[in-house]
C-alpha cells in the first residue's frame, strides 16, 4: 500500500537489519546483514488518519467537506540470508481502508502492493561504513475494483544504495543509516527519487530510540488528480515525512516497537499521521 511504501517498504532496509540483528557494540558483518540461513521477520501495524492534503503548491487543505481517510495496515517484512553477502527481501502488506464524507462512504480490505528483491553487501568490514545495493520489484495484490484502492495498480522497479555505520556515544552505541534510490513506475504514475536518513541510539542493552526522515520527489510535471478516495495514490506527488520510534528487547531474538509518524510537507498528496506498532523476530 502506498502509505506503507513511504514509511517502510520503500526504504529502511538498514534500519530493519541494524535493529533486528545488532547488539550494543560496533557493527560487524552479521549486525548489518544476515548471514546465510539467518534473517529477520518483522510485523508492523500502521494506523493512519488524514483529514487534510497538500495541494499542488504545498498548502494544506481539507480532503473535502467533513472528509476523512483511515487505514490500518499490517505489513510483513522478511529478510533472509541467501549467502553471507546476498539477502532476500520480501514485503507483503494487507489492510483495511476507509474513506468517508457526507455523501460517500467506502471501505475495502485487501492485500497491498507486494514487493520482492535482493540486496548485495558491497562492504561489511568490522568497522567503518557498511555499503550495499538493493533492487526491488513491486506488483499489486488487489483488485482494480477495490475502493478505496490500496495503490496505483501498476508495476514498479526500484534500485537503491545503502550506507550505514555504528559509532560510540559516550558509553553507548549509536548508528547512522542512509538510503537513496530511483523508482521506475510504469503506467500513469511518475518516476521518483527517494531518500531516507535514520539515526538511533542504544540507550540500554534492551532499549533503542531512533528517528527517520523520508523524502519522495516525483519527476516531471504535476498530473491531474487520481480519481480515488485514497489521498496517497496520486500519480505525481512530493512528500516529506518524519518518524520517531523506540524498541524494547524482550529476549535474545525478539523486540517490540512503538512509533509515531507525520507528514511534514508535500505536494498533491495526503497530509496525515500514523501510529506504528511492531514485532521483530530474528532467526
pLDDT in tens, 141-157: 999 889 999 999 999 99
* pLDDT tens column, 239-254: 999 999 999 999 989 9
Percent of the chain whose predicted confidence (pLDDT) is above 70: 86
Model pLDDT, residue 222: 73
Cα separation, 134 vs 15, whole angstroms: 14
Taking the model in full, what pTM does it have? 0.88
* pLDDT tens column, 4-41: 444 444 445 555 555 554 544 433 333 367 889 999 99
Q: Which fold has domain 2-282?
A: Porin (2.40.160)
CB 280 within 8 A of CB 9: no
Who contacts 227 (Cβ-Cβ below 8 Å, separation ≥6)? none
Model pLDDT, residue 27: 37
Q: Which three cell numbers stand for residue 262?
A: 507525520
Percent of the chain whose predicted confidence (pLDDT) is above 90: 73
* pLDDT tens column, 51-110: 999 999 999 999 999 999 999 999 999 999 999 999 999 999 999 999 999 999 999 999
Amino acid at each position: 500500500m502506498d502509505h506503507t511504501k513511504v514509511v517502510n517498504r520503500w526504504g529502511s532496509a538498514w534500519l530493519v537489519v541494524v535493529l533486528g540483528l545488532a547488539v550494543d557494540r560496533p557493527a560487524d558483518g552479521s549486525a548489518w546483514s544476515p548471514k546465510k540461513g539467518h534473517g529477520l521477520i518483522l510485523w508492523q501495524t500502521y494506523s493512519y488518519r488524514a483529514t487534510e492534503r497538500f495541494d499542488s503548491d504545498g498548502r494544506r487543505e481539507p480532503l473535502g467537506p467533513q472528509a476523512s481517510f483511515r487505514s490500518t495496515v499490517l505489513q510483513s517484512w522478511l529478510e533472509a540470508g541467501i549467502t553471507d553477502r546476498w539477502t532476500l527481501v520480501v514485503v507483503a502488506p494487507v489492510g483495511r481502508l476507509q474513506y468517508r464524507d457526507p455523501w460517500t462512504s467506502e471501505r475495502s480490505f485487501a492485500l497491498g502492493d507486494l514487493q520482492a528483491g535482493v540486496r548485495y553487501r558491497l562492504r561489511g568490514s568490522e568497522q567503518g561504513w557498511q555499503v550495499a545495493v538493493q533492487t526491488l520489484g513491486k506488483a499489486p495484490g488487489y483488485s482494480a475494483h477495490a475502493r478505496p484502492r490500496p495503490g496505483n495498480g501498476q508495476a514498479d522497479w526500484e534500485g537503491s544504495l545503502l550506507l550505514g555505520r555504528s559509532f560510540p556515544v559516550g558509553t553507548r552505541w549509536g548508528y547512522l543509516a542512509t538510503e537513496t534510490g530511483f523508482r521506475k513506475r510504469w503506467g500513469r504514475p511518475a518516476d521518483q527519487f527517494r531518500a531516507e536518513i535514520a539515526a538511533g541510539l542504544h540507550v540500554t542493552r534492551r532499549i533503542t530510540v531512533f528517528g527517520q526522515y523520508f523524502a519522495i520527489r516525483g519527476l516531471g510535471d504535476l498530473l491531474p488528480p487520481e480519481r480515488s478516495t485514497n489521498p496517497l495514490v496520486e500519480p505525481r506527488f512530493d512528500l516529506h515525512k518524519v518518524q520517531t520510534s523506540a524498541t524494547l528487547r524482550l529476549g535474545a531474538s525478539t523486540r517490540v516497537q512503538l512509533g509515531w509518524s507525520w507528514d511534514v510537507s508535500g505536494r498533491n498528496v495526503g497530509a496525515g499521521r500514523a501510529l506504528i506498532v511492531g514485532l521483530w523476530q530474528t532467526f
